[in-house]
Amino acid sequence: MEAIQQKLHLKPRNDMWGPMAQDAQVQCTDTYCDNGYERCLYHATLLYDGKEPKEVFPHWALWVDPAHAEINMMQTNIKDYIDKNALQFVTGAKSLDKDWDAYVNGLDDLKVKQYVQFMQVALNFSTINKK
């Protein structure tokens, strides 16, 4: 753009949004102000640095036998149950001391042990086939 302006002997224009976009990325340094929420989240994630698991379960790369197709429904139900209860435990609607056993029994009702067995079979199968 500047080269064209120079060739045509035009006066440089300052009407582009480019330089303004840099200012939009500035954040408040106070993590408790309205604009500091993203910075607050960033600092909170730093608390977990170095605490990542050494091994990660490769659920995305597993092949599940079609005979165990119900695993998809089990996975959805288990995840929903865990998410719902985690929220209730965090907000204090449920107590870890009083409600934990009922929570674990609810996982048993969702056949979480069978789900883990299916996933272990899938993991074993994928590990054997990689060799």
pLDDT in tens, 65-82: 788 888 889 999 999 999
Q: In the prediction, which pLDDT does 55 show?
A: 84
Pair (68, 125) in one structural domain = yes
Is residue 10 one of the residues assigned to a domain?
no
Is residue 8 one of the residues assigned to a domain?
no
Is residue 18 one of the residues assigned to a domain?
no
Is residue 5 one of the residues assigned to a domain?
no
Pair (74, 121) in one structural domain = yes
Pair (35, 91) in one structural domain = no
Residues 6+ apart with CB under 8 A from 115: 71, 74, 75, 78
**Model confidence band, residue 35 (pLDDT cutoffs 50, 70, 90):** confident
Is residue 123 one of the residues assigned to a domain?
yes
Q: Does the pLDDT at position 18 exceed 70?
A: no
Split into its structural domains, the chain has a count of 2
Pair (125, 103) in one structural domain = yes
Is residue 1 one of the residues assigned to a domain?
no
Q: Distance (Å, rounded) from C-alpha 78 to C-alpha 83?
A: 9
Task: Print the domain residue range for 109.
Answer: 59-130
Q: Tell which residue, 38, 43, 45, has the closest CA to residue 24.
A: 38
Q: Are 74 and 115 in contact (CB under 8 A)?
A: yes
